[in-house]
Amino acid sequence: MKMKKIIRTILAVVMVMCMLAACGGNKASSSGSTASADGPTIGVIIWSTDDGLGADAKTALDTVAADLGVNLIYRTGSFDADSQTTDIENLISAGAEGILICPIVDASNDEYLKTCEDADIPMQLMFRNIVDQDAYDYCMASDQFAGYVSEDEQSAAVAMVDKLLEEGCTTFGLVDRESGNAVIDRRQTGYKEYLDEKNITYYETITTNTATATEMVDATDQLLAANPDIDGIILSSGSNGAIDAIITDLEGKDIKLTSFDTPADIKAGFEGGNLCMLTTGAQIDPVYAMINLYNKMNDAPKADTPTELDSNYIYMTSVEDAQNYEKCFSEFNTYTADEVKELVDMDLDAFKTEMKNYSLEMVSEKMK
């Protein structure tokens, strides 16, 4: 290990100890640290660790980090490029030797990476690919870019439309976000193209990427008031409590809902009768991303060039699915500590094959 990495590690350990002392050892702090061992320190930038998906992602990351002896420092709540750049700078100052980030602004990925390059540390994307061509070209040519992991958003969007059609819906309401987020853009493009292809009537409301749950409900109510024939809704992003709030708002209405992301109480969501499909289970994405970054940080990358990896979604369509999901994912049960180490040792082809095997059925079978 280079001398500056040794210094960073010492600084990171000191900072983690100080932060834990100040917080009473609370590991669940949305911007705090998870101390594991004397191993490397990774800075994690994610929208939240309090909503359904964010909390599940943190649980998974913390478990795997402990298996690998990795220290994690979290930063949450930044929703623009300048703030996320500041997060990176602060994490580097705190001793991060690698950055694992869910970028909010696709076109700024090259700027995030330049900050890491200046510090001579690698960066890995989770939950995102790179749509902006200039940013993509820059990142894929960089020695400090480990790669990205993202889900098949467009196929998921088509499946959600098909589920609403199966439920008898004829007129769709799209609760969308403003453009600029690579993942959400792919979701929205996917179902709008499919709706156009099938000549299905739909109406759209567009919210900001920073809209609160209350603002999302207001936008949904206004959409329904203006278009009372809507009988099916697609929510392209249910993060930060939006999905929970909209499920509650639809109670008693003859409207079906499909959504990305995870409510706090999945079973109750389906029991209400409006929710008919969730596209979720993406908490495995940051695990695969962190392992890829871990390999890069330990001079054992899975490829000579940045990796472009696809991760599966899990679809839930019933109370039974929700019960099975909560049983399997209330804690991180996807991989044992030994299996985590096997993931690290896999070559790229084996790693990709393992990622393709991820499913609710796979995790359920492992728990028997």
Question: Over the stretch 251-275, which tens digit does the pLDDT of each residue have?
Answer: 999 999 999 988 888 999 999 999 9
Taking alpha carbons only, the member of 84, 122, 140, 129 closest to residue 106 is 129
33-34 and 71-76: which strand pairing?
Answer: antiparallel
**Assigned domain for 270 exists:** no
pLDDT at residue number 37: 67
CB of 75 closer than 8 Å to CB of 43: yes
Instruction: Provide block-wise average pLDDT over 10 residues at a time, the chain (368 residues).
Output: 42 38 34 67 95 89 97 95 97 98 93 98 95 95 97 92 98 94 89 98 94 96 98 93 95 96 90 95 94 98 97 92 88 94 98 93 85
The C-alpha angle with vertex 291 and arms to 290 and 297, in degrees rounded to 5, equals 85
**Assigned domain for 55 exists:** yes
Measured in degrees and rounded to the nearest 5, phi and psi for residue 71 equal -95, 135
**Assigned domain for 167 exists:** no
Q: Count up the domains in the chain and report the number.
A: 1
**Assigned domain for 181 exists:** no
What is the extent of the structural domain holding 24?
3-150+282-312
Q: Please report the sign of the dihedral spanned by the C-alpha atoms of residue 242, residue 247, residue 252, residue 255.
A: positive
**Assigned domain for 190 exists:** no
pLDDT at residue number 24: 33
pLDDT at residue number 50: 87
Paired residues of 73 in beta bridges: 33, 43
**Assigned domain for 206 exists:** no
Helix (H, G, I), strand (E, B) or coil at 65: helix
pLDDT at residue number 10: 42
Question: Over the stretch 294-322, which tens digit does the pLDDT of each residue have?
Answer: 999 999 999 999 999 999 899 999 999 99
Give the position of tokens 């990427």.
209
The C-alpha angle with vertex 52 and arms to 48 and 53, in degrees rounded to 5, equals 70
**Assigned domain for 137 exists:** yes
Give the position of tokens 């309090």.
50
**Assigned domain for 317 exists:** no
Q: What is the C-alpha radius of gyration for the chain, rounded to an integer number of angstroms?
A: 20
Q: What CATH number is attached to the domain comprising 288?
A: 3.40.50.2300
Taking alpha carbons only, the member of 191, 216, 189 closest to residue 205 is 216
